Amino acid sequence: MSDDHATGAAPGDSSLGRIETEVALLMRLGEATRRATGSAEHRVLDRAAYVILRHLDAAGPQNVSALAARLNLDGSTVTRQVSALQRDGLIARAPDPADGRGTVISPTPAGLHRMAAVQAARTRLYGDILADWTPTDRDTLATLLSRLNQALDSRTRHR
């Protein structure tokens, strides 16, 4: 079996090599852009805290195990991150209504405020970066990135 066939690539499909390169570059430049951005709003939350708060805002209160599973992270990693968020007053723990022995976490108003500030700063940044793109091109990019993220998420869940 050829390498192309083993990876699901059609023989001679150079677009997959370009995609791999562009995704690697996107991740590197995204992080470099975050670090280089002068706005303090980008730095009021680290990346992990932002992702946790965004998920809790969208999905509602969760126990740490469910949160770890959804974010594809080790439970001990999420526990450490949640402890730091709680120490900073950005999340709160409450008894789990489904299991009185456990707890669920949810964002506090301060956590939601900080998350919204980071989200607004990031939205403005991408607005500046993509200012010369047409609305159709921006919409196409959003759609394709969503599809890529869904495919990546599906693959990690089925491994």
pTM: 0.79
pLDDT for the residue 36: 76
Q: How would you class 88 by CB atoms within 10 Å of its CB: exposed for 0-12, middle for 13-18, buried for 19 or more? A: middle
Q: Which residues contact 44 (CB under 8 A, 6 or more apart)?
A: 114, 117, 118
Q: Quick check: 3 pLDDT over 50?
A: no
- 39-79 residue pLDDT tens: 666 567 888 899 999 999 999 999 999 999 988 888 888 99
Q: What is the mean pLDDT of residues 96-120?
A: 91
Domain ranges within the chain, ordered by starting residue: 41-157
CATH architecture of structural domain 41-157: Orthogonal Bundle (1.10)
pLDDT above 90 as % of the chain: 58
Cα 106 → chain centroid:
17
The number of beta carbons lying within 10 Å of the beta carbon of residue 58 is 7
Radius of gyration for the alpha carbons in the chain, expressed in angstroms and rounded: 19
E strand map for 7-90: none
Determine how β-strand 91-96 pairs with β-strand 99-107.
antiparallel
